[in-house]
Amino acid sequence: MKELIESLSSKGILKTPRIIKVFQAVDRRKFVHADFDQDATLDEPLPIGFGQTISQPLTVAFMLELLQPEQGNHVLDVGSGSAWSTALLAEIVGTMGKVYAMELIPQLKAFGEDNLRRAGYTTVELFIGDGSRGLSEFAPYDRIQVAAAARTVPRALLDQLAVGGRLVIPVGEFVQEMVLIEKLGNGDFREQRFPGFQFVPLVID
């Protein structure tokens, strides 16, 4: 993993010290299927079953650098899958923060929960549900990360984002743009788009 982190840093993908630190702290091998244990340090997406993948480390790093989570943040992680990104977020926000993770596929929720438990993360809560609707009962969120492609940015996620918060989501049907949205005020948003990504689609219940 050290070589992968050094590679991502040399490419300018990993830049923020606290994000580099959590990549060093959270072992990706604990969040892949046993069949792919030897591939966990590769900069590639890996299958986790049910047509889903654990994202490529470069993509995860890029998203976290856009999201800029901070200690104490209240975070929604949509499409948690194997929960590697969830663990990275939990490591950053610390015990003063909170991560709520959503997964639509029950078997993957169970897989992610088991991975988090074995890795020692006890403050994360996982829920089964349609990520496009968010999780309104715990809103607003300082940060929202979505690890599946939406056709458009779901209105519910914009509504559940706190003022001053950030939402990162891939948008598009076949090849996506990574979209960073900052909420400047109620109904007032600033958006940046970065092309060239490919995600599995956001499954809507």
Q: What domains can you pick out in the chain, each with its CATH number?
A: 2-197 (3.40.50.150)
Catalytic residue among 7, 9, 10, 55: 55
What totals of helices (H) and strands (E) does the chain contain, helices first? Answer: 6, 9
pLDDT at 2: 86
Rounded CA separation 40/167 (Å): 27
Q: Which two tokens stand for residue 165?
A: 């918060």
Catalytic residue at 7? Answer: no
**Contacts for 122 with CB less than 8 Å, ≥ 6 apart:** 116
Rounded CA separation 88/55 (Å): 13
pLDDT digits (tens, 9 = 90+) for 152-203: 999 999 999 999 999 999 999 888 999 999 999 989 999 999 999 988 888 6
Say if CB 63 and CB 39 are below 8 A apart. Answer: no
Strand, coil or helix: what is 93?
helix
pLDDT at 59: 96
More confident residue, 115 or 1: 115
Average pLDDT value for the chain: 94
pLDDT at 30: 94
- 56 secondary structure, DSSP code: P
Q: Which two tokens stand for residue 68?
A: 């800029």
Q: What is the mean pLDDT of residues 41-69?
A: 94
Q: In angstroms, what CA-CA distances link 151 with 56, 100, 148, 167, 175?
A: 21, 23, 10, 15, 11
Model confidence pTM above 0.75: yes
Q: Which two tokens stand for residue 163?
A: 């003022």
Rounded CA separation 135/98 (Å): 13
pLDDT digits (tens, 9 = 90+) for 73-107: 999 999 999 999 999 999 999 999 999 999 999 99
| Predicted confidence (pLDDT) at residue 204 exceeds the cutoff of 70 | no
pLDDT at 10: 94
| Predicted confidence (pLDDT) at residue 125 exceeds the cutoff of 70 | yes
Say if CB 129 and CB 153 are below 8 A apart. Answer: no
Q: Which two tokens stand for residue 113?
A: 């929960």
Residue 69, preceding bond cis, omega within 30 degrees?
no
- 200 secondary structure, DSSP code: -
In total, the chain counts a number of residues equal to 205
